[in-house]
Structure 1
Amino acid sequence: MQGLFANRRGVVVYLAVWLFLGLALAGVITLVGAAAAPNALLFALPVNLVYAFAAGYSAYYLCRSYPLGGARARAIPLVFSAAALVAGGLWLAVGQGWNSLCLLLGVGWAGIDLGHRLAALMLAEGVLLYGFAAALHYLVIEFVRATGAEQSALEARLMAQEAELRMLRTQIDPHFLFNSLNSISALTSQDPKGARRMTLELASFFRHSLGLEAHRKVTLGQEMELVRHFLAVEQVRFGARLLFAEEVSAEAAACLLPPMLIQPLVENAVKHGICHLPEGGTIRLTARRAGSLLHIGIDNPVDPDPPASGAKGQGIGLSNVRQRLAGAYRHEASIHWTRRQNRFGVEISMPAQLSEE
């Protein structure tokens, strides 16, 4: 049974309302002089509780059979008017039967003077209360329907977002793999041992990457392990030309972020920075937490006079990271990059999350 009786709290609130209505009926009986207060309470409260369940269940199934937006919506006023009259009449009959039983007890505190005026009042009240129960059920049913539709829309949006993020993540692995294979191919003739070492480091990188694949988000500390594996691969290729300095606070390392978010930026720094500098340089990565935000910065040297063909290209790294941040955090995250003098810097600001939401 759903509707008002879907959970215990709903039942308690519903019965509390009907108990209050029973007290009100007892008060009316006392005011019109039909009985003393104990007699009125003994009559009104049991009768109201019985009617609460009878009217509640009847109205609920009628509301389910005649939904507001259904094909039979035009018949709702007629159906519920007839049902309310029948329910009110039955309630009056139950009340008269209960009153007769109380009078048979032959004690002063049982039974009331159920005359024609009081009987008509009970019938009218029964009709109104049935309509009240039906209106409550319609409200609850429509609220549950709207909540379900909103939940379904949210789940569909999350599934679409997850599919978009997975598509963006699939761009990373082939991109890095092709670059690494080209490097290994170049090393096989010049430095076979270096090519073998690079192959092993590459295997370690993808093994670690696959371990993070099952998670929607990983800690920055885990992401940094992936970055170190990547740099170990590139270290074989560049040697002393490639230096790396990181400043990651413990609070920042515990924060969550989408997997493979930082690695493409470090790869960008190698491909578009260190690769074009004969003397190489240092890639700096900083991460700190400031309240509810996580700030990550990546800074690398660049060629002061880049060739015309490579002046604008920054690979897929920056656009991929920007799209993944937008998909995961919407307007709550941002990424900016600047070029000052002979260095290129990327700044990321995102929510500092410690648990997946």
Structure 2
Amino acid sequence: MVTFFKKYAEPSLLKYLVLFYTFIAGIDFCRSFYFLYQGPRKVVDSLSGLVIVGVIDWAVVLLFMGFVATLTKFLLTKKIAWRTIISLHVVLSIIQSYLVGFISPLILDYDLINRNYNFFEKVTHTFFFNVTTNILLYCSMLLIVYSYFYLRQIRNQEMEKKVLENNLIKLKLKTLENQLNPHFLFNTLNSISSLVKREPDTAQDMIADVSYLLRKFLEIDNENLISVQEELEILEHYVNILKQRFQEDFKIVQHVKESTHHIKIPRLLIQSIIENSIKHGFSQQNRKLLIDLTIKKEGDQLIISVENNGKKLPEHPVYSNSGIGIINMKERLQALYQDKYKFDITNSSLGVKTEIFIQLPPSLP
């Protein structure tokens, strides 16, 4: 139980509940003081007893609502069905009302209740006399509890959105840095220059590819998701340029299920994985790079797999876990999908394999 409260208790929320109920309890004491002790039909002779009842009531309600607030966080964390949560709160509101009904009969002796009643009859009388007020009070404090968690969820979503926007800016800068660096431009322009007279049609196609990529990279905005089909179109132009650069040393094979074309994925995700494979796939020992791209849907998961025949990962790889591109991809996936994705880079029979598993929304066909 102690572990439960340490894990799910919210001190800030408890502070708000204390402030709220202290205000309500103060007003309720003034009401009781007037009607029961000072009013025209005085029914209680002990002012100290009235004060004690008010203090005990204050402590019992706050302790009970502290438990309710902690339980609420647990229920929301475990994603319990709302039907169950509502039913539970109805029961808890009645329990709280009955607990409060024990306080007055224990301490006060007043004429409002026939003194011939036994203790439990007095408790029941007090319960029914105040049940409506107590349940409304429970609902008011419960509203504070859920408002607290709702507002915190909105705040967290805003923070995640800012992280995602910052990552998108980093992605744009990183993409421009990688794709528009002097070496890339020099090699591309040099290839175009050598083809202008010899193969003018091919040179024209390369110019079109470069123009398309420049436009797409510079158009990166706050649209975090694009369809698989749009991503493949960007990849096609990128691969066309690479093929002219590496000629027969580079080959990419695609196995993409048509049923995945409409599914939304992070912009330039596949291009980033391909880029990482090229960067680390070529070596002195491996001058011919083969990349196998597979995109498919299995159950409620989208699987993106990029396998290359390059040098295998060492026992403690550096780039697979700490490379800027990989870190950026993981941060974007985390911001978009929280715990509903998996990212793996492992050695395979061919070479190195990168796999991303994304859990799709239930409504997605």
TM-score, normalised relative to structure 1: 0.58
Q: What corresponds to 1:72 in structure 2?
A: 23
For residues 186 and 211 of structure 1, what CA distance do their matches in structure 2 show?
23
Match 1:261 to one of 269, 292, 297: 269
Conserved in 1, the CA contact under 8 Å of 2:281 and 2:310?
A: yes
CA distance in 2, matches of 1:331, 1:170: 23
Distance verdict in 2 for CA 1:74–1:303, change over 3 Å = closer
Q: CA deviation at 1:259?
A: 2.2
Q: Whole-Å Cα distance in 2 between the matches of residues 331 and 251 of structure 1?
A: 24
- The aligned counterpart of 2:137 is 138
Is 1:336 equivalent to 2:335 in the alignment? no
* C-alpha spacing 1:353/1:71, structure 2 compared with 1 (3 Å): closer
User: Where in structure 1 are there 5+ consecutive unaligned residues?
Assistant: 1-65, 90-119
CA distance in 1, matches of 2:336, 2:324: 18
Q: After TM superposition, give the deviation of residue 279 of structure 1 in Å.
A: 4.7
Look up the match of 2:248.
240
166 and 84 in structure 1: CA distance in 2 versus 1, 3 angstrom threshold? farther
* Deviations 1:196-252 (CA, angstroms, capped at 9, x unpaired): 865642442353456673434333222222222322332342233322211111333
CA contact (8 A) 1:274 1:280 kept: yes
- Where in structure 2 are there 5+ consecutive unaligned residues? 1-16, 41-112, 115-121, 196-202
What CA distance in whole angstroms lies between the structure 1 residues aligned with 2:303 and 2:21? 53
Cα distance between partner residues in 2 of 1:339 and 1:145 = 52
- Counterpart in 2 of 1:289? 297
The CA distance in 2 between the partners of 1:127 and 1:137, in whole Å, is 16
Percent of paired sites with the same residue: 18
How many angstroms apart in 1 are the aligned matches of 2:141 and 2:168? 40
Partner SS, residue 69 of structure 1: helix
TM-score with structure 2 setting the length: 0.57
Distance change in 2, residues 1:145/1:305 (3 Å) = closer
- Quickly say closer, same or farther: Cα 1:188–1:249, change in 2 above 3 A: closer
Hey, what does 2:193 align to over in structure 1?
192
Q: Is the 2:343–2:356 Cα contact (8 Å) retained in structure 1? A: yes
Aligned residues: 253
Q: Could you tell me which residue of structure 1 aligns to residue 80 of structure 2?
A: none
Q: Which amino acid aligns with 1:78?
A: F
Supply the RMSD in Å over aligned alpha carbons.
Answer: 3.9
Deviation at 1:264, TM superposition (A): 0.7
Alignment of 1:119-268 (within 5 A): 131-181=130-180, 182=182, 183-188=184-189, 191-192=192-193, 200-208=208-216, 213-268=221-276
**1:172–1:166: structure 2 CA closer, same or farther, 3 Å change rule?**
same
User: Residue 265 of structure 1: CA displacement?
Assistant: 0.4
Q: Spell out, residue by residue over 1:58-83, the C-alpha distance to the aligned partner (whole angstroms, 9 max, x if none).
A: xxxxxxxx996266344233244368
- Is contact 1:333-1:349 (8 Å) kept? yes
Q: 1:141 to 1:349 in 2, by over 3 A?
A: same
Larger Rg: 1
